[in-house]
Amino acid sequence: MAHDLFDISGKTALITGGTSGIGAMIAHGLQARGVKVVIAGRKADSLEKASADGLTAIGADLSTPDGCTKLAQDVLEKVDSLDILVNNAGATWGAPVDDFPASAFDKVLDLNVRAPFLLTQALLPALGESATPDDPSRIIMIGSIDGLRVPETPSYSYTASKAAVHQLTRHLAGHLASRNITVNAIAPGPFESRMMRAMLAQRRDDIEAGTPLGRIGRPDDMVGAVVYLTSRAGGYLTGAVIPVDGGISTTR
């Protein structure tokens, strides 16, 4: 039945960067569908609000290896099992090519590429424990359409990091399939998020006009993709990078 095919109730998920933007969309969308949701973030006030909304909120700094290890330990103290890991936390940086600082590569690649790998590595035992051939554990990487095409913005380290996330997704998928763990990526286009806030404030009409489907992504667009990937419906898919972008990267 269709209801059973997309049923994810009773699962447990960790979402990094879950206090705002796309991470918060995913967190609240999964919670509404009966998933026990743990989120990780850095801002105390946002974590308090998430806790008040019924989410399990943990403070974390994923910019260092020790921070990734500590988050994994803290999560496993809060939950008995882990079925879903959404590696969403990320950073960006923009500067003209002549002035782009070397430090911007360290900051962005450490958080966008190294952290998802280290956190995945630390949580593999928990993900593997709950996984079965009929219902694999699921890892979702949040990439970007800017890792699929060249954007107008001078965000060199960001685009490089997201292209790396897409390839890391494929690489991990190949090695974790035998453990009954799927690894897929979502490459979002324009959504209401912290990273897009300034650009949407300045150029929303232009961005919508440049999107084949004519609008900015809505929370349900993102939640729908995640529900598919984490439910029985998506149980036979791994190593895929799915653009959720209104057709920008696929038709233009």
C-alpha to C-alpha distances, 10 to 25, 27, 32, 121, nearest whole angstrom: 19, 14, 11, 24
Query: CB burial class (10 A; 0-12, 13-18, 19+) of residue 200?
Result: middle
Secondary structure letter of residue 191 according to DSSP:
B
Secondary structure letter of residue 53 according to DSSP:
T
Residue 208 has a CB neighbour count (10 Å cut-off) of 15
Active site residue 158: yes
Q: How many Å apart are CA 87 and CA 185, to the nearest integer?
A: 9
Strand, helix or coil for residue 15: strand
C-alpha to C-alpha distances, 191 to 23, 141, 244, nearest whole angstrom: 11, 16, 10
Of the listed 156, 158, 228, 236, which one is catalytic?
158
Secondary structure letter of residue 112 according to DSSP:
I
Q: How many Å apart are CA 220 and CA 159, to the nearest integer?
A: 25
Catalytic residues, by residue number, are 158
